[in-house]
Every structure is written in C-alpha cells, then in structure tokens.
Amino acid sequence: MDSAKSDMRLYSGVAASPGIAVGRMRVIDRRRLGVDEYEVGEAGVSTEIDRLKGAIVRTRDELELLKEQLRTTIGDEHLFFIDTHLLILADERLFAEAAANIESGLINAEGALRRTLHKYREFFAGIDDPYLRERISDVETVIEKILRNMTGEPHAPISHDGGQTIIAAHDLTPADILQMDRGRIIGIVTEIGGRTSHSSILARAFELPAVVGVDGIADPLLSGSPAILDGIGGCVIVNPDRDTFLDYLQRKRHYEYVESELLKSASLPPETLDGHRILLRGNVEIPEEGASVLRHGGEGAGLYRTEMLFMNRPEMPAEEEQYRVYSAMQQAVAPHPLTIRTLDAGGDKLLDGIDLLGEQNPALGMRAIRLALSMPDEFKKQLRAILRVSAGGRVAIMFPMISGLEELRRARALLAEAMGELNDAGHAYDRDIRIGIMIEIPSAVVMADQLAREADFFSVGTNDLIQYSLAIDRTNEHLAAMFQPLHPAVLRSLRRVVETAHEAGIDACICGEMAGDPLYLPVLLGLGFDELSMGATSIPRVKQLLRRCTRERAKEIAEACLGFSTAAEVEIYLKSAITRYFAESFD
Ligand code: PEP
Ligand code: MG
C-alpha cells in the first residue's frame, strides 16, 4: 500500500453488509456483452427464431445443472434465485416479445433480445417499490445468459487472484456469491443494487462485507489496485495513502476485536445484573441466516419474514415448496423456537401475480393480513405448510398488521380450516401451536386488551407502529428525522401493549428495528418486554448492555422517559442517562 497520495480515490455507496476488508480489487466484467443488431431480411427470420429458442433451452439446461451442483454443496434452501431465473426463462412473454422483435424488425436474435431488455428496463424503472425495481437485475442476468449462449461466450465463475481479494462488478448475482471462494474473497462492491437485493441479503447472511450502489467502481482500470472496503460507512477507498491505510487497519482491528469480544460472551445468558431474564432472538428472511442467529447468541428467531419466498415470481409457491423452506428454517434454529410470520405483502412489498388495482396509498391499502384474508386458499396453503413444520419442531405463527378482533377471528377461522384439512389428509401438526399477532396499527394498541384474550402473544412491529402512529412514511428519506421511536405517543403505546399483555398473562415482544438498537434497550427492558427480536449481528451488543443493566434502573429510566412531552426531550435525557450508567457499553 505505497501508492502516492494523489492516486487515492473515495467511492461512496450504500453499506449493504457490515465489516471492513483490506485487499486488492479485482474487477469482474459482468457488464453486458457488446452485441450488434443487424438486419436479416424475411429469409433470416426463422433461423433467428430457432437460434433464440436454442439459446433459451441451453440456458435452461445450464441453470438446471448449476442447481444440481449447488444443491450438493450448499443445500436446497439457497436455490431460490435459480428458481427465479428459471421462472423468468420459462415466461412465454420473454420469448414472444423477442420473437416479435425479430419478425417486425427483421433483425437478428441478439438485437431483438436487447430491444426486449430495453422494454423491461423501462417497465421496471417506473415501479415505485425499490425492492421490486431492483428485480430488473434478475431479468438482466437471464437475458445476459441467453446472449452468452447465443454468442458462445461463457459466464465464468468468479475467482480470487491469490491474495485477499475485493470483488468489484457492475452487478453480482446470488449465484456469483454462492460460488465464490469466501476464504479469499473478503468483500464485494457493486455499481448497482440496494440493501434489499438478494445479493445483499446473501452477503449479510455470509457476513461478507459489502457496499452497493457505487458509481464507477467496475472500471477495469481499477483492477489490481489496493483498496479498502468499508461495509459500515458504505464506501470504498482505492489506492489509499499511507495514513488512510493505517487508519483503516486500526479501525478494522478495532471492529474485529469488538465483534470477537462480543461473540465470546454471545452465549452468556441474556439476563440483567439483578437476575431478570428476557429472550433475545433473531429476525430472519432466508434459512442461511439461522446459523448466524445462533452464533450471535440468539435463542431462535422471533420474526421469520416469509415474503422473500413469494416475491419476484409469477405464481405463489406451492404448499410443498413452502413446507421445505420453512422446515429448513426451523432446522437452522433448532432446538430453539421459530416464529413464522404469515405473508406480509402489499404496501412496499408487492407481489408479481397480484393486481392491487394501482392503489394510491399502498401502505394504507391491501396489505398483510387483509391481503391474505382476501385470498383464503393461498393463505390456507401457507398455514398448512407452517402447521406441518410444527410437527417436527417448535414453531409459532404470527399474523401481521392485525387492526382489530374481526381480522384475528377470521384468520383463526382459516387456521382451523387448515387444521381440519391436515387432519383429513393425515398430516401431523402441533395442536397447541402458539398464535401471536403483530401490533403495528394504532387501533390494535387501543384494542389490545380484547386482542390479548384471543392471542397467545403480542409482537410489536415498531417500524410500522411508528409509521402509522405518526403518519410518517417509513420509506420516505425526506421525513426520516420525523420517524421518532422515542415520540411520547410511541412510548405510551408500547407501555399499553406490555401492560395489557401482562394483565392477560401473555408475552409482549418487539421485532421492529427498535429492538436491535442498544439506545432503546433500557426503555424496552424497563417497560417490561419479554422478548426482543433483531438482526443477528445486533444481538451481542444488546445482550452485553442488558447484562450490565439492572431491571430496577431500567424501570426508572423508562418511567422518566414517559414523563417527557417531546421526542427530543426523551432523547436528550436517555442519552445522558445511558452515558451516566452504562458508559463502557458504548465505546
Ligand atoms: C415492523 O413493522 O416493525 C416489522 C417488524 O415488520 P416489517 O418491517 O416486516 O414490516
Ligand atoms: Mg411491519
């Protein structure tokens, strides 16, 4: 790292997976193939359509083969992205559109496919939901594969160059990440993508530092340069000067030291100095994250978001597929329990196959339990799959966005029907399975006393509860400062949820982002929550602080917080209280 100071360049992006990597960049050419469009005349049309068909078949064979290879090395549960690609490939519209381009433009198959991709890009660019918008990368990957099969240029797996390698690319597919030698490849950076893209989720699951959305980082001229990837701050420094290099080495050591110290105590019991124990668990989206939850000291998963399995595909997953994936998740956290949340789609998480009639206000529209209740057969399919998993392990069901008793009763009625169907089919399941509800809507807070009589536990989704209580769109970056977890209305709601749950003798949990932020721990502990569920890597830090608190002190802090009139006052008080009592936990 002896580069001249003037060579140093900072590239900013989005932190997608935490950690710091120091190594050499290897730029992978994942950009599109340079294919020409040319005219073939009437006589050439059928040949071009045959070439297109042949390339699609070869691509399908290639994906099936890859699926087989990966199944033996990494297991079934990771293969959802290949299935996604196979589905895109099987979609008649892709072939029909490209074939129509050949016929109408009298052009070659490559040019026709490029035109098709252009149309898909325009369509996806007009989608508001960032998660869905990013799914264009799956379509691009598939079309690129077809093109490579037409031109005979293979898509080689990514390799390292002997040393500690940071891979930079325009985009990386989940397959790229799964096939990487993760011993030598220590970080990844891409020009496109967001925190919710499949690749980012996999990077986090593998604890591989990653930065995405970095303009210009895939420049081939950068290949071989020394680089630092900062997956915490969200940047990449190419050709760092000596001071920056030393500074980052120090930061990296500090980060790794703190992480390893935290991990050492990850298996200690989650209890306060005065012996009060609560449950700390992980939030998960794919089975691979289960191992990470356990390693970070989580006692199972308190929120399994099942949406991932439903997104980015034209049809709902079959009961068998759901059963397989949920079983894999259950086994990944066994012997600890798993709380499976039923489909929470709609709002900012749209599904391909469902037409929500272009809602003006999707967050207030056909979302979560409302959507599930509107398609009882699909909902029962999911319930049957979850119930079947409960036969082999500790599983609880959780309904999202319950607004009142009527919805809870309708959901429970469908659950009873699903149980009846399993009885008829001779399938086993846990007849005493725990049924919880998420408290995310102010009406549920108001009705909490009645809801508590018909639910086995409450889990507060603070992300949505704050959004709906304060009328602040949780995805609107311009309103981020007004999204206030410490708003007195939010704190009072949390107190009411805990009190009504405990009066009814049921547990009160939190699974929104608030649970994973150490700042809020004394408040949540003091209010009396029984369980906090969070991203796996947050567990050790929260546990460390928990083990330095007393329940009594936390109660005093929570009580004091509830005495203020504004979020700003609460925050000033809380920070100073934490600094006074727990200073050493925030170094
Ligand atoms: C929440 O709303 O806090 C929650 C955990 O659910 P999601 O973020 O999936 O909406
Ligand atoms: Mg929610």
Query: Does residue 511 carry a catalytic annotation?
Result: yes
Residue 302 Cα to ligand 2 middle (Å): 13
Supply the pLDDT for residue 131: 64
Give the rounded percent of residues in the chain with a pLDDT score beyond 70.
90
Instruction: Say if residue 209 is preceded by a cis peptide, omega within 30 of 0.
Output: no
Q: What is the mean pLDDT of residues 444-464?
A: 97
Q: In what order do the strands lie in the sheet with 210-212?
A: 9-12, 235-238, 226-230, 20-28, 165-169, 185-190, 210-212, 14-17
Residue type, 387: L
Q: Is 359 left (phi over 0), alpha (psi -120 to 50) or beta?
A: beta
Using CB atoms within 10 A of its CB, is residue 376 exposed (0-12), middle (13-18) or buried (19+)?
A: middle
Supply the pLDDT for residue 73: 58
Supply the pLDDT for residue 585: 46
Q: State the Cα torsion 121-123-129-135 to the nearest 10°.
A: -40
**Minimal-distance CA residue to ligand 1 atom 8:** 463
Supply the pLDDT for residue 357: 60
Q: Which atom of ligand 1 is nearest to the CA of 305?
A: 9
pTM as predicted: 0.73
Q: What is the mean pLDDT of residues 145-164?
A: 74
Domains of the chain in start order, with CATH, are 5-30+157-261 (3.50.30.10), 42-151 (1.10.274.10), 265-586 (3.20.20.60)
Residue 513 Cα to ligand 1 middle (Å): 8
pLDDT higher at 346 or 392: 392
**Minimal-distance CA residue to ligand 1 atom 9:** 305
Place of tokens 């993508």: 193
Q: Does residue 487 carry a pLDDT above 90? A: yes
Q: Which of 70-84, 396-410, 422-436 has the lowest mean pLDDT?
A: 70-84
User: Among 283, 285, 344, 348, which is best to mutate for testing ligand 1, by the most ligand atoms less than 8 A from CB?
Assistant: 344
Q: Does residue 1 carry a pLDDT above 60? A: no
Q: Return all residues near 428 (Cβ < 8 A) that are at least 6 apart.
A: 388, 391, 422
User: Which pair of tokens denotes residue 77?
Assistant: 């549960």
Q: Does residue 416 carry a pLDDT above 90? A: yes
Residue 63 Cα to ligand 1 middle (Å): 34
| Three-state DSSP class for residue 457 | strand
**Minimal-distance CA residue to ligand 1 atom 4:** 461
Supply the pLDDT for residue 356: 58
Supply the pLDDT for residue 127: 80
**Minimal-distance CA residue to ligand 1 atom 1:** 461
* CA–CA dist 490, 478 (Å, integer): 20
- pLDDT tens for residues 27-52? 987 655 667 788 898 989 999 999 99
360 forms beta bridges with none
Supply the pLDDT for residue 587: 42
* CA–CA dist 305, 194 (Å, integer): 18
What is the Rg, in whole angstroms, of the alpha carbon atoms belonging to the chain?
25
Q: What is the mean pLDDT of residues 539-562?
A: 95
Query: Does residue 502 carry a catalytic annotation?
Result: no
Q: Return all residues near 539 (Cβ < 8 A) that are at least 6 apart.
A: 266, 280, 281, 282, 293, 296, 297, 298, 516
Q: How many Cβ atoms are within 10 Å of 243's Cβ, its own excluded?
A: 10
Strands (E), 196-306: 210-212, 226-230, 235-238, 279-284, 301-305
Q: What is the mean pLDDT of residues 52-77?
A: 78
User: Among 285, 306, 438, 517, which is best to mutate for testing ligand 1, by the most ligand atoms less than 8 A from CB?
Assistant: 438
- pLDDT tens for residues 290-326? 999 999 999 999 999 998 788 766 788 999 999 999 9
Q: Smallest Cα–Cα separation from 176: which of 151, 150, 194, 202?
A: 202
Supply the pLDDT for residue 37: 84
Give the rounded percent of residues in the chain with a pLDDT score beyond 90.
60
- Residue 429 is given by DSSP the state -
* Residue pair 455/437 in contact by the 8 Å Cβ criterion: yes
Helices 80-90, 136-151: crossing angle, 10 deg rounding = 70
Kindly list the protein residues whose Cβ atom lies closer than 6 A to any atom of ligand 1.
303, 305, 344, 440, 461-464, 511-512
List the catalytic residue out of 235, 509, 511, 549: 511
User: Among 341, 511, 517, which is best to mutate for testing ligand 1, by the most ligand atoms less than 8 A from CB?
Assistant: 511
Q: What is the mean pLDDT of residues 52-63?
A: 88
* Residue pair 16/204 in contact by the 8 Å Cβ criterion: yes
- Band of pLDDT at residue 4, cut at 50, 70 and 90: very low
Q: Does residue 76 carry a pLDDT above 70? A: no
Q: Which of 156-165, 336-345, 399-408, 539-548 has the lowest mean pLDDT?
A: 156-165
Q: Is 480 left (phi over 0), alpha (psi -120 to 50) or beta?
A: alpha
* CA–CA dist 343, 121 (Å, integer): 28
Q: Which atom of ligand 1 is nearest to the CA of 464?
A: 2
Residue 341 Cα to ligand 2 middle (Å): 10
* CA–CA dist 298, 532 (Å, integer): 10
Residue type, 178: L
Q: Does residue 24 carry a pLDDT above 60? A: yes
Q: Does residue 236 carry a pLDDT above 50? A: yes
Q: Smallest Cα–Cα separation from 10: which of 248, 200, 171?
A: 248
- pLDDT tens for residues 167-196? 999 888 777 787 788 789 999 999 987 765
Give the burial string for 414-445 (b: 16+ CB within 10 Å, else e).
bbeebbeebeeeeeebbeebbbbbbbbbeebb
Q: Which atom of ligand 1 is nearest to the CA of 283?
A: 5
Supply the pLDDT for residue 410: 98
pLDDT averaged over every residue in the chain = 89
- Band of pLDDT at residue 229, cut at 50, 70 and 90: very high
**CA 584 vs CA 549, 550, 555, 578: distances in Å:** 12, 15, 20, 10
**CA 555 vs CA 176, 461, 495, 521, 550: distances in Å:** 49, 22, 11, 11, 9
Q: Which atom of ligand 1 is nearest to the CA of 514?
A: 3
* Residue pair 428/390 in contact by the 8 Å Cβ criterion: no
- Band of pLDDT at residue 2, cut at 50, 70 and 90: very low
* CA–CA dist 496, 124 (Å, integer): 42
- pLDDT tens for residues 351-399? 666 655 678 888 898 889 999 999 999 999 999 999 999 999 999 999 9
Q: Does residue 74 carry a pLDDT above 80? A: no
* Residue pair 482/532 in contact by the 8 Å Cβ criterion: no
Element (H, E) at 439: strand 434-439
Supply the pLDDT for residue 586: 44
Supply the pLDDT for residue 180: 81
Q: Which ligand is nearest to the CA of 306?
A: 1
pLDDT higher at 212 or 310: 212
* Residue pair 406/444 in contact by the 8 Å Cβ criterion: no
List the catalytic residue out of 78, 160, 170, 198: 198
